[in-house]
Chains A and B, each alone.
Chain A
């Protein structure tokens, strides 16, 4: 493989990886706090693309404003899911919440199929994403370049929130000890809502950027990126924000590079990612950055 091809693939991997990272953080934030895998997360990712799509196509709003509104709506949807579906089950057995999460996911997907239909829609991309740049002799698509740049900026904002603000301190506290956090005067239900808002906004951004890279959107488009981002969260250590980001980049790079080096394995691209998931669950369920798994009693 030539250097140029390798570099192109590397950029491509980083670009896909940064999208997994954005999505994985939503899984990990919610898991860290509620011990719940929010299966509906990948559907919020999908909704983000549709929200932005309709803002552009029906309301004819500029691209950036449509994305902003789409992301805000995702945050609202995320909070609504928590309020309507998960909060009433806060003290129920965990399996009930898990089944509910699957139910919410199916509901959103099928609601999408009924209302907007299964036929994919073309997602309008700004020129910025369509340009082609020449970088170190390699031709790099605008989207491949800008997606990681934007993602990393967003991750920076996220880390500032989690590690530098009062709400961030409360989030990390809730994830360790919900009851003691209550004793500190923290309205824990509100912190959980913020967590869902934050994770869902990231999913919305991820969705829009994904649609810039693969500009065909449909109501089931979230499923595979969702599973892969979940894998990324497991690889990084579920509940660990830095780990989720790391896992996202690892999965993205691994998936792209394995195909680049072994073109014969192209058909096994997805299987490869899920093999990583299974191996990690067997060998190192705590992930790269997670602590040893301990059962909460």
Chain B
């Protein structure tokens, strides 16, 4: 275990029914960095995040969070330990108000005073949410929902934030805003593990990236280096 790691995954194997979805994935997320997972649909990116968050149990392999083995822990314990997820498709609770969505994100927290401070913090990151605290989650626009999904995850005060396709279905301007926020989060000490279809945007901000293909890591390296890699340019950046 390297000492600067927030998250380390060793030889992860996951099966969905009979399908071998992850075939020995290993990865490493150093503290204070943005790490990106890129790859085609079905490559195993989401499965990797779902396994880390405890929704899916691996058949083999280990997941270490800050040096502690969290393999097989239940999802709510993992959130308590300090890993939060912004799920694919935002998954805002449409029947709850914006405030209730945020409070649910803080479900594992006991200290009310710091809770208030963190509400102020996420409102300063996403001022638009402050005006809509009493609105039902389902009535927000796509961009607002994405912001709420990020804010909601932050309310658990995670040390590792996992984001599954945060830019999906958003207008280019909003995509830029989201990526800007991701970098801002880094400044405040949150480590980020990011999945993106938008490989270019992801590689531009990622310190390090892994390319997944059919359940295996086929390529890895610094974000900027992968941007220049021949294979990545062909397969994921749509260049000849």
Contact = CB atoms under 8 A, between A and B. Distances in A.
Interface stretch (A78-86, A166-174, A223-231, A275-283): A166-174
Contacts of A179: 55, 91
Contacts of A188: 76
B96 A173 contact: yes
Nearest to A175: B95
B105 interface: yes
A186 B55 contact: no
Given A181-B104, A184-B152, A184-B156, A176 B95 contact: yes
Contacts of B87: 180, 183
Contact of B107 (A175, A176, A185): A185
Contacts of B96: 169, 172-173, 176
A139 interface: no
B95 A184 contact: no
A175 B100 CA distance: 14
A177 interface: yes
B44 to A, nearest CB: 18
B75 A170 contact: no
Contacts of A183: 53, 55, 75, 79, 84-85, 87, 91
Interface in A222-281: none
B80 interface: yes
B36 to A, nearest CB: 20
- Counting contact residues on chain B (CB < 8 A from A), the size range is 20 to 34
A35 B85 CA distance: 26
Nearest to B86: A183
B103 A185 contact: no
A182 interface: yes
A184 B94 contact: no
Nearest to B137: A176
Contacts of B105: 184
Nearest to B90: A180
Contacts of B108: 185
A165 B85 CA distance: 24
A172 B95 CA distance: 8
Nearest to A188: B76
Nearest to B109: A185
B103 A169 contact: yes
- Residue among A175, A176, A180, A183 having the largest count of chain B Cβ atoms under 10 Å: A183
A177 B152 CA distance: 15
B218 to A, nearest CB: 28
A290 to B, nearest CB: 12
A176 B75 contact: no
Nearest to B75: A182
A175 B85 CA distance: 20
A176 B94 contact: yes
Given A185-B108, A187-B76, 16 more contacts: A169-B96, A169-B100, A169-B103, A170-B104, A170-B107, A173-B104, A176-B95, A176-B96, A179-B55, A181-B93, A181-B104, A182-B76, A183-B55, A183-B85, A186-B76, A186-B104
- When A and B form their complex, which 9 residue pairs have the shortest distance between CB atoms, in order from nearest? A185-B79, A185-B108, A182-B75, A180-B91, A187-B76, A185-B107, A184-B104, A185-B76, A169-B100
24 contacts: A166-B107, A169-B96, A170-B104, A172-B93, A172-B95, A172-B96, A172-B100, A173-B93, A179-B91, A180-B87, A180-B91, A181-B104, A182-B54, A183-B75, A183-B79, A183-B84, A183-B91, A184-B105, A184-B107, A185-B108, A185-B156, A186-B76, A186-B104, A186-B107
